[in-house]
Structure 1
C-alpha cells in the first residue's frame, strides 16, 4: 500500500475511543466487632490488643497460652451477655498473633518483659482494676506480672488450666511431648506442623469443629520457631506472691487436662487464700472453649465481685 493510500485509509477510519482509567473508590474497611490497639512495650515491642464490649464496664484482660492468640477467647469476646456488661480486652502475647516477633532471647527469656507487657496494656488502655485471666502459659505471664508489679492494680484473677509452678513435673500432662525439637520445635516445617497439630488436639477433650481447628492451627503456626524455642525452660517462682493475694481468685481447670494436670489447679487454689476452685468434669485444657456457657457465667460472677477502691 502506498503512503498516500495508507493516509487516506487512516483518515477514513473512525478514531478509536480512548478509555480513561476511572478513579477507583477503595472498598470500605470491614466493620469489625472490636477496637484495635497497638500497645508499645518498654523495649519497643508492639503488643496487639483487641477491645470488645461495654467501654464503661468492669475490665477483663484475657491472656492466652503458648502458641495461641487473642482469637482463642472468641467464645468470651463475642458473647453478647459478657459484651453488654463488661469491657473485654484480649491480647496477642509478644511473638504471637499480630504482635511483634523480634529475634533474640532477650525479648522472651526475662520475666520482666512479660510483666511489662501486661502493665503496658493496663496503663495505656486505662484498665481500672481489671480481672486478669490467664490460660496455660498465660499463668506464667501472670506470675511474671505479680513478681514485678504485685497485685495492687488488679481487681481479681482467674487461673485457667494455668501454670503457677514448675517445681513438680507431675503437674504437667503428656501434651508437652509435642513441643520438643523432634516434634513441634523441629526446624523441618512438615515435622513442626505435625507436632503442632498433635499438640493442639491434646488441648481439647471436646474437639473443635474442622473449621475452628483450621483457624486455631493457622494462628498457632503464626508463632515463629525462634519464639517457640525461647519460651522453653523459663523459671517461675511465685508461691510467696500467691500466698499474699488478697483479691478474688478463681482457679478453673478441666479434670481431663492433658497439658497442665488438674493437680496444678488444686495446688494454686490451695496456696491462694480464699481462692475458689472450679473443676470441669469431662473437660480438657480449654474449659473456656469446651464449656463456654459455664465458664462465662463464672467469669461474670468473678468480675462482679471486684472491690472498687
Structure 2
C-alpha cells in the first residue's frame, strides 16, 4: 500500500541476526518516511526489539508520535516488543496538504495505516489508538478488515459518533472559535485549555511545553478538516474476533467513560479496564499500569 523513502535494513529485506540485542530504550528511534497511496508522506518512528512482536501506536487529534514516549522508551517494552509510532497526516513531521480530500474520507486514513504496516513489514501488529486514533482504527477495519492485526487497544478512543452524550466538555475548546480560530492568540489559548483537559493527572511543566509545541504544529486547515467526520462502525466492531482491550479513565473530560463501555459491550469478548481518578491519557497518567496491560495483551495475541 505504501513505500518508504528512508530505508532501513529491515525494509530492504535484510533481517538482523537473532543474537543481536535489542537497542537500549533510550536509543534514538529508527526513522522512516512512508508514502500513503494518495501521496501524503508520514513520519514513522521505530523503537525497541526489531525481532519482537509488533505494536503500532496511533495518536489523537493535535497530538504526535511523541505522545507515546512513556511506552516507546519503557525499558521492559523495548526489550520485548517492536514498537512503531507515527505522526498522522497533518500532524508532527508528517505532510500537511490542504484540501478536505486528504482528511474527510475514511479511506485516506485506512490506507495510511495500511501503508505504515506494509512499508515497515509489521507482521500482525497490535493496533493501539488513542482518542481520535479510535476513528482512524475504525476507518482501517471498515476498509481493510482486521485480518492483518493480532489485537486492538482502544484508549480513551472514539468508537461511535452517533451519541453526543458520550463526549465531554473538552471538545468545546476546538472549532473555528477556539483552537481552529484564525486569530493566533485565540487558537493558542484554546489549545492550552484543550491540552489541560486531556489530563486529570497533569504533566510536568517541561512535558506540557513539549506537548503544547507539537499541538501547535497542527495548522488551522487540518484542525478544521478533522472535525465533523461521520463514524458508524458498530457492525464492524460486533464482527471482530481478536483480543481487544478497552482502556479508559473515569475522569476523561473529552471522550467519556460511557464511550469505553460502549466499545467493550460491542466487541465480542473485549476486556474493559477503567482507571480511577485518571483522565483522557491513561497511558501517560498511569504509564506503569498501562504498559503492563498492553504487554499482557500483546503476549496473549502472539501465542
Alignment partners' CA distance in 1, 2:99 and 2:162: 26
1:123-151 CA distance string (max 9 Å, x none): 11010010000000000000000110000
| Matching residue within 104, 110, 125 for 1:109 | 104
Q: Larger Rg: 1 or 2?
A: 1
1:203 aligns with 2:198: yes
The equivalent of 2:260 in structure 1 is 265
Residue aligning to 1:306: 301
1:41 aligns with 2:51: no
Query: CA–CA distance in 2 between the matches of 1:219 and 1:46?
Result: 18
Q: State the match for 2:217 in structure 1.
A: 222
Q: Is the contact made by 2:53 and 2:302 (CA closer than 8 Å) also made in structure 1? A: no
Residues 195-219 of structure 1, C-alpha deviations (whole Å, 9 max, x = no match): 0000000000000000000000000
Return 176-185 or 113-122, whichever deviates more.
176-185
TM-score under structure 1 length normalisation: 0.89
Unaligned runs of 5+ in 2: 1-25
Query: 1:306 offset after TM fit, Å?
Result: 1.0
Distance 1:305 1:94 in 2: 31
* Partner-residue secondary structure (3-state), 1:227: helix
* C-alpha distance after superposition, 1:177-210 (max 9, x if no partner): 0002111111000000000000000000000000
CA offsets per residue over residues 15-58 of structure 1, 9 Å max, x none?
A: xxxxxxxxxxxxxxxx9521001001001110110000000000
TM-score, structure 2 normalization: 0.91
Aligned length, in residue pairs? 278
SS at match of 2:77: helix
* Corresponding residue to 1:144 among 133, 139, 149: 139
Cα distance in structure 2, aligned partners of 1:219 and 1:252: 24
Q: Secondary structure at the match of 1:277?
A: strand
Distance (whole Å) between structure 2 residues aligned to residue 264 and residue 235 of structure 1: 16
Secondary structure of 1:283's aligned partner: coil
Runs of 4+, deviation exceeding 4 Å: none
The structure 2 residue matched to 1:67, chosen from 46, 62, 65, is 62
